[in-house]
Structure 1
Amino acid sequence: MEDDLFSLVNLRDMEVIDINTGTKLGFIKDLKINCDEHRIISIVLPSQTTKMSLFSKNEDVEVPWEDIKKIGVDVILIDGKKLSEKD
């Protein structure tokens, strides 16, 4: 059972990769947690856009927990089909 447990620090150090395209999406910026049900709802990744402005809103990317397909030793594989549909 211990092998299936990950600390938040370890998760944040793992690179997130889309299994459909092989695109590296970055590292986990934040987690959304349902405190009543004690479960992770989604992971939040930094915006993929390179444009940054003092007054612009940074659009982070939210990945539902259901779209995470595999958590490996040093990477997290996700199904990013829904992410590409939003563009």
Structure 2
Amino acid sequence: MELEGDLFSLTNLRNMEIIDINTGAKLGFIKDLKINCEEHKIISIILPSQTFKISLFGKNEDIEIPWDNVKKIGVDVILVDGKNLVEE
């Protein structure tokens, strides 16, 4: 993964739009992160679902993108390989 800067705050990451490099589609903004606290690594980013499908208990289905699929973090966007997006 390429970085255009050295460090990013969580607030900065959450304000960057996520773009799929395969289709150019705008996937939205980061809703949450999965972090491995023992290894101090981000495991995946969580995005709100693009569909308006609501489950039995009123919870929206979210999209999880593994951190390995993040290809580049730019100034105001994050480019990801969204081939195999997983809805939680």
Measured in 2, the distance between the counterparts of 1:35 and 1:26 equals 26
User: Higher strand fraction: Structure 1 or Structure 2?
Assistant: 2
**Structure 2, unpaired ranges of 5+:** none
Higher relative contact order (CA 8 A, sep 6+): 2
**Which residue of the partner structure matches residue 71 of structure 1?**
73
Tell whether the 8 Å contact from 2:31 to 2:47 is kept in structure 1 after alignment. Answer: yes
The 4+ residue runs of structure 1 with deviation greater than 2 A are 50-57
1:48 and 2:50 correspond: yes
**TM-score, with length taken from structure 2:** 0.85
Q: CA deviation at 1:56?
A: 3.8
RMSD of aligned Cα (Å): 1.9
Of structures 1 and 2, the larger Rg is shown by: 1
Q: CA deviation at 1:83?
A: 1.6
**TM-score, with length taken from structure 1:** 0.86
**Which residue of the partner structure matches residue 11 of structure 1?**
13
User: Percent identity over the alignment?
Assistant: 76
